[in-house]
Structure 1
Amino acid sequence: MRMFKLLFWTGCFILLSVTEQDTGETEIFCSSEPVVSFCGSSIVLQCHLEPQQDATDNTVKWTQQSDVVHVRKDGKDVPGEQMERFEGRTSLFSEGLRNGNLSLQLSSLKLSDSGRYKCSFQVGSVEKSCYVNLSVNGYEVIGSPEPVTAESGQDVVLPCRLEPGFDATTLTVEWRRNNATVHLYRSQKDDNEDQDQRFKGRTSLFHDEMHHGNISLKLRNVSEEDAGNYICFVPKCREKKGNIALKVVLKDEDPNKKGLVIGLIVTAVVVLIAGLVCYKHLEVGQDRQEDNNQSEIRRR
């Protein structure tokens, strides 16, 4: 009996020792390089466990100084502990947690998001953490310094770009003229529900080029009513704006029609001159006939 108890407690001691050793060997690592991004975009702050360990049911916490960015406990997120300014903008990778991936995705970046972030992993009373630095930069929205001129009936491109030219596909981009919505792009697609009726079916962005910061607008079949000042802007990060003036001129008439009109005018002038010449000729002939008649009368 004593031998059995000795073996039992020895096994428990060994099991506890192995468990403590495994927990003690787990390390947490964050990105060693600062993460740099731009206003309005989305980023991932890297954090993972080595060796890989299933962290699905463990406590994972992200903070920025004293502000709680994201918390996950007992297999689910706890939004009630999150600071209001991060609401709806953070998430962990559910599948990745199974392999020890504790990385945080942060969307719709703001300038105020810049700072030092702490990634924490807790098992029981043991907490391990690491840090990653995030720098959020602003940008310029550049329109056209010169007016854009187009003929009525033509398609025209109103140029606008981000400087530096980073990926704009995750941003909200809006085009306006006066108080009218010309075109709206958000959630990575065109959203023209609130678009002014005058521009319905006539506007588009260059989606393939938005990856390089091109947010120019194509406006089809322009008319004189389209002339005016346009604004392209990103309603984040202090609402940077670009201005573009559009001038619309009447389309020149068909050159063939012009030639026909000129030909008719020339023909009319020639006919008029010929008529005058004939009239003068007849008038001279009549005068001579009268003179001959007078001479014949005198002879008699």
Structure 2
Amino acid sequence: MALLSLLFMSSCFLTLSGLTFGDQSGIPVIVKDGDDAILPCSLGTNENIEFVQFEWKKEGTEKKVFTYDTGMVDSPALPGRVSHFPDDLQHGSASIKINNVQLEDGGIYTCDFPTRGKTFRIELVFGTSVIVKEGDDAILPCSLGTNENIESMLFDWKKEGTDHVFVYNPRINPPSNPGDKFKDRVLHFPGELEHGNASIKIITTQLEDNGTYSCFFPKREKTFHVELTVEPVLKDRTAENIKDAVPEPIVKILDDEGLLQCEVRDISPEITVEWWDKDNKTLPSQISKEQIKNQPYIIVKTTVTKSGNYSCVATQKRLNHQILTTTFVQLKEESDSAPQGFSVWTAILIGVLVAIFVVVVILCAAYRRSKR
């Protein structure tokens, strides 16, 4: 019976392990030496915990990292380096911040609510942060740090919450890239293996590539972490079938004196519509809203003074969506003046040629008279 009770308690603990704000992925907190680290913890109910006791411990150590008991706090293991968020207690947050983290701070931390019988775990690891723009390539670094030849050593790249990203197995050539999301988008550096480099390159990064990656060497039982941040760029996302993404603007040339009109479906509140010249500079415009065929539209008008290409640009920053329509404008005055200018120069040229011809005729006649 005691054994059954022990198994039940173990099962409960394993069920709770890795929960942070209701997230069961167990995603570690990645920091660099000297950074500040926030370790998240919450019961997940948003209840006020100002009068609820909780304590933080680091596995493998005896001293408590942080204790909270109805307003009384203490941090015996890391004096002066740990703080909590008093204002967030009423929203259920028992998170703490460790200032100026050091290598020895790495490890697994537990956030325990003794009166609730609940324990949450979070891992603090040291790793590297990589930041790229969407569409750029990203190199995720990994090395044992010894410069030893790893051509015959297995290593495995994973993304937290997903399957394998890349597996290097010396017995399999070429290396496997099993994840559908990363198919044909992940490369390693074969020529660098002899120098201990297990880095990979993700080609043409996508927003869903954001996350924490781990590079694992089973033979050495060593894991390295990389936090990849893919910063979104404004671009046409029509092909992504994003809800409420505005369609292509409708452009009209209202007259031959440079009056242009742009019509954009008013399907979300954050749409901005502008007219740009060929240098992508914003032009002065008048904005109004109208119903066209019982549909709401944003109407933007501008008047241009030069012939050239002009674009109506609709932007939704929340969706990182930007779409434009470009049209060429030929102003009437410039169009009419071009042939007139051409005829003037033609007349001048003809006049010069006629004058030369007359002079030549006169000279020839004079020459003939002198011969007689």
**Is TM > 0.5 for Structure 1 vs Structure 2?**
no
Higher relative contact order (CA 8 A, sep 6+): 1
Please identify the structure whose Cα radius of gyration is greater: 1
Which structure carries more helix by proportion?
1
